[in-house]
């Protein structure tokens, strides 16, 4: 394992950025990044670059965020290593041409297929809270897709940015992959370049700026933003499980997690029990308190410390647990506050910190109304209760993702597509979705020369040809003018022969089961015994 020394932060020279971008574009146009062996080699080298710099990466996350070593490994280093191994194992299959579905028989003569082409030269702008995962994670997808890529880590986590620069420059092809470090001037210079896609993780305010800039050149973007994510605990939920799981979601990385709950609505009948279980869980997780615990992170910097503290200071709620702060360490304790108004400072803004506002509600219907009022398209949703209750909440509250009876578990599955909806983001990545987000699915057909006679119908003059075209291509509706389905002979024949199956697999299973019953019935009639029961 390499040295733990972390170089001091140094911004990339602004005037070098256009040269770097042009180099990467030239490399992409040379076709160098497209072959599968090249992609696999780069991914494998990145894996070993991470392994060789593990100690420095752990130290960087400690310097930037006070991040516990355990959290750095499970949510940063090991996450990335596993992502690379998973991707290299699946890449050949992902890259294969696909046969499109629902192609009419006559059009199959043109051999329609879907190619997987890399988008080109892309820009990845990372975030500070998970500085490794949210920077190198999308980059892994870009490499797998065959793109050239510039990575711009967040300057708010400067130590991690410098170690990632070292990893990329020592491990990857410098003509195809680069790291640009810096703040607003460097990011502005990057955005002034023409990209084939921009992938951004961070705040909605900056995401809006990036989207506007990208729109000037019609550049597609992926925006991984945040939201005022609601948790809803009904009176039928298990208060112990809800307390432990939501406490974990707000203690991990000191609450600096875009998908953790921003506030918790609790039905009044269960609120006392939920608060009591929170007290028990906090004591269990941190027997000597969070401040002296090696398992509790710090707020990333003084500016964000004061932003979170201001929310706490301006709240009209009652502090039930925690409340301790220490500016010298950028430390804010897990703080549970009971609020009475959705306009409270603890709910109006995304805390992105270890604050846990509780809002008592009369019933599930009130909780749903509040969730849709506070933020109509949050990044995450966390309902606790019966299946009927959680299904109702999932049906009536839109969100980027959801974890039922848990805190952001959907965001902890590395192969499950992750992304927002509405103003909490657009696009998704992770697992195969990371490959696909940097890939263009290009539809391709190949028309053989012998088909020219068949194609004559499409050429002018058109006189008398419309009826011929309609005879082979026009579809007849199976519904009437009121929108009701017409259940004619075709419908009933389909229902009978499919035995109610909605797919070919379902139909096959039903026919197989029917055949088995028929064989059994015949055997029983002949012998009085069922062959399956011998």
Cα 212–chain centre separation: 22
Measure the CA–CA gap between 92 and 354, rounded to whole angstroms: 42
* Closest among 426, 532, 424, 464 to 203, alpha carbons compared: 424
Measure the CA–CA gap between 502 and 493, rounded to whole angstroms: 14
Tell me the H-state helices in 131-238.
133-145, 158-171, 184-191, 204-215
Measure the CA–CA gap between 160 and 182, rounded to whole angstroms: 13
- The per-residue DSSP string of 399-413 comes to -SEE-TTSSSGGGG-
Q: What 3-state DSSP class applies to 507?
A: helix
Give kind and range of the element (H or E) at residue 103: none
Measure the CA–CA gap between 407 and 384, rounded to whole angstroms: 10
- Which residues have a Cβ under 8 Å from the Cβ of 3 and sit 6 or more positions away? 55, 56
Task: Catalogue the active-site residues.
Answer: 224, 258
Q: What are the backbone dihedrals phi and psi of residue 381, each rounded to the nearest 5 degrees, phi first? A: -145, 135
Q: What are the backbone dihedrals phi and psi of residue 355, each rounded to the nearest 5 degrees, phi first? A: -100, 135
What's the full length of the chain, in residues? 534
Tokens of 169: 């420059």
Using CA atoms, how far residue 57 sits from 4, 64, 164, in Å, is 8, 11, 8
């Amino acid at each position: 394992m390499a040295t733990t020394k972390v170089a001091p932060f140094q911004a990339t020279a602004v005037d070098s950025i256009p040269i770097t971008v042009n180099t990467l574009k030239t490399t992409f146009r040379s076709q160098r990044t497209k072959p599968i062996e090249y992609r696999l080699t780069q991914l494998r080298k990145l894996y070993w670059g991470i392994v060789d710099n593990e100690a420095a990466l752990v130290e960087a996350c400690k310097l930037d965020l006070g991040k516990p070593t355990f959290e750095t490994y499970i949510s940063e280093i090991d996450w990335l290593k596993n992502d690379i191994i998973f991707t290299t194992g699946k890449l050949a299959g992902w890259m294969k041409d696909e046969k499109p579905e629902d192609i009419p028989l006559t059009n199959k003569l043109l051999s329609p297929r879907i190619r997987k082409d890399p988008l080109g030269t892309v820009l990845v702008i990372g975030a500070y809270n998970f500085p490794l995962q949210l920077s190198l994670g999308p980059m892994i997808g870009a490499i797998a897709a065959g793109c050239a890529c510039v990575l711009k880590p967040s300057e708010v986590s400067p130590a991690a940015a410098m170690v990632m620069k070292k990893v990329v420059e020592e491990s990857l092809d410098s003509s195809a992959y680069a790291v640009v470090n810096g703040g607003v001037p460097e990011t502005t210079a990057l955005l002034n370049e023409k990209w084939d896609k921009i992938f951004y993780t961070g705040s909605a305010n900056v995401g809006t700026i990036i989207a506007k800039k990208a729109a000037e050149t019609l550049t597609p973007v992926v925006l991984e933003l945040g939201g005022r994510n609601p948790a809803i605990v009904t009176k039928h939920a298990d208060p112990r499980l809800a307390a432990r799981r939501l406490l974990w979601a707000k203690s991990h990385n000191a609450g600096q997690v875009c998908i953790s709950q921003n506030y918790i609505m609790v039905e009044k009948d269960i609120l006392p029990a939920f608060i009591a279980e929170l007290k028990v869980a906090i004591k269990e997780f941190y027997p000597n308190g969070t401040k002296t615990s090696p398992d509790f992170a710090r707020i990333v910097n003084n500016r964000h410390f004061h932003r979170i503290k201001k929310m706490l200071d301006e709240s009209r709620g009652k502090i039930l647990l925690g409340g301790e702060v220490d500016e010298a360490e950028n430390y804010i304790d897990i703080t549970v506050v009971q609020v009475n108004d959705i306009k409270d400072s603890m709910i109006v803004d995304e805390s992105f910190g270890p604050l846990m506002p509780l809002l008592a509600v009369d019933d599930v219907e009130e909780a749903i109304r509040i969730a849709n009022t506070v933020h109509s398209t949050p990044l995450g949703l966390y309902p606790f209760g019966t299946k009927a209750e959680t299904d109702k909440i999932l049906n009536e509250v839109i969100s980027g993702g959801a974890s039922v009876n848990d805190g952001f578990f959907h965001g902890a599955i590395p192969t499950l597509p992750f992304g927002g909806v509405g103003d909490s983001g657009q696009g998704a990545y992770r697992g195969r979705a990371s490959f696909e987000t940097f890939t263009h699915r290009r539809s391709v057909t190949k028309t053989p020369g012998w088909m020219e006679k068949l194609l004559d119908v499409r050429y002018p003059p058109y006189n008398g040809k419309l009826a011929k075209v309609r005879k082979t291509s026009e579809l007849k509706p199976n519904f009437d003018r009121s929108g009701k389905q017409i259940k004619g002979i075709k419908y009933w024949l389909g229902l009978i022969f499919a035995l109610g199956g909605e797919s070919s697999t379902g139909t096959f299973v039903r026919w197989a089961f029917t055949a088995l019953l028929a064989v059994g019935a015949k055997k029983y009639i002949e012998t009085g015994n069922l062959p399956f029961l011998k």
